[in-house]
Structure 1
Amino acid sequence: MLPETPATTPTTDDVLHLLRGKRLTALTGAGISTDSGIPDYRGPDSPPRNPMTYQQFVGDEAFRRHYWARNHVGWQRVHRTHPNGGHKALVRLEERGILEGIITQNVDLLHEDAGSRNVIDLHGRYDRVICLSCARVVSREHLADRLTELNPHFLESIGDLEDVETAPDADAVIESTAHFVPAACEFCGGMLKPEIVYFGENVPRERVERAYAMVDAADALLVAGSSLTVMSGLRFVKHAVKTDKPVVIVNRGATRGDPLATIKLEAGVSETLEELADRL
């Protein structure tokens, strides 16, 4: 049986005591990237968001046009962000053999940019685009060039991009998108979609199985910066508990996994991971 969560407020020392000598798998969410300037979806200070669903994207041309216009703006910001201390701390843990690997719900590739090697991008990655008809994959950078050609002066019309609020999937908050021209697949004319998992879309089964195997290969699960609101992440917490592995959750604000956690640490993600990397 897993130990009960202490009645007193847990500290980083409690986490260190629990995890020392164990091999870890990390499950990360948007909260680990906030210190890189990418807003969280559900953090305590985050504005309300209604991410586009898969059904809206494939079923409505107006939704797709609106999405690609906002994404074209958001791409300009997100692809210039850099890993923070939390990402780099996980690299240090991996290099020392403490961290088995990372399952991330993020699509920002900051773990890879930091130098992490064993990363499962659970919800895909924002730097690739797939055609839903012919399944060809192109880089988002290549698509950015095409969208700029189709929409000259669109970015300039937005103003200072640094002032535009941008979500973790590079969805920028802009309103005037009616005249934006999306790009079709240059190979078959089909519908292009970012190679990320939308709300209402299933994570590929092979990817899920690899993530379960990563949890099984470790002695404990460390959740960093995820509210665990969606089942795609929560299932790995449930799996760890079912297999008698301790679960540590580091997050500001309540998470759906709190009742399952061995320790829930209400703290900043970057500073906590840096301390763990220094002291484990």
Structure 2
Amino acid sequence: MTTAPATVGVIGGGRMGAGIAQSFATASSTVTVVESSPQAAAAALDRIATGLKRAAERDQLTERTDDVLARVTLVHTVEELTGHADLVVEAVPEDAALKARIIAAAEKSVSETTVIASNTSSLSVTELASSLRRPERFVGMHFFNPVPASSLVEIVLAPETDADTKRKALEWTHSLGKQDVVVRDSPGFASSRLGVTLGLEAIRMVEEGVAEPEAIDDAMRLGYKHPMGPLRLTDLVGLDVRLAIAEHLHATLGDRFAPPQLLREKVARGELGRKTGQGFHTWQ
């Protein structure tokens, strides 16, 4: 039986960070979430509380929601992650410079034995590790949205990630009741590279008038048994997130990942998917 880390820091309390915090708190970890302002911290705590309430309604909790929530603390700076933490997970937006600054600051605040992980979905784990004094304790732990319900964590190994860090990342993944896939660090890893490929082609089909979004999604859902179509998944992930990943892959892997103009236009209009109510589908 695997054991969850006793203490976890999560930097960033957005949809992904809140989901990561909820999952570890549910697995009995004591969790500290870093958010930059009182308003952002309150919003993060509300996301976690709402997620726990939904889990309880589905009989997925073995404790009272208040007891799980009591294991979560909000702070406003990375420097407040002082002392021992088994694991710190960075879950800020997909900006390489921002992530590098965050994990470097975290390394200065935590103990020498703390594993530092990034939830990046596409950025180079090797390049992020280069900002650390001890890159061997750094690993990619790519969680999927919505984190509490998803069964997968993609473990991304940089060349300097040591065997003990890998072992701990796998053990902690299993302690959450999730499965792992282990990949070598490369642009887009396995999941984002394949998922974005399908999503971009679906967007091009809409752009070219091949079919309506619902029909394209139904073709993959009914014909290939995907749990949801590529356009609905793009809405769930966020069109802005998909665009950022596509731009990174375009820069590193070439023109086959060039973002369609329709994707750029929708992001410019603020049609980002479920979080704004409109993407390729309309969300209530």
TM-score by length of 1: 0.29
Asked which structure has the greater RCO (Cα within 8 Å, sep 6+), the reply is 1
TM-score by length of 2: 0.29
Structure with higher helix content = 2
Structure number, greater radius of gyration: 1
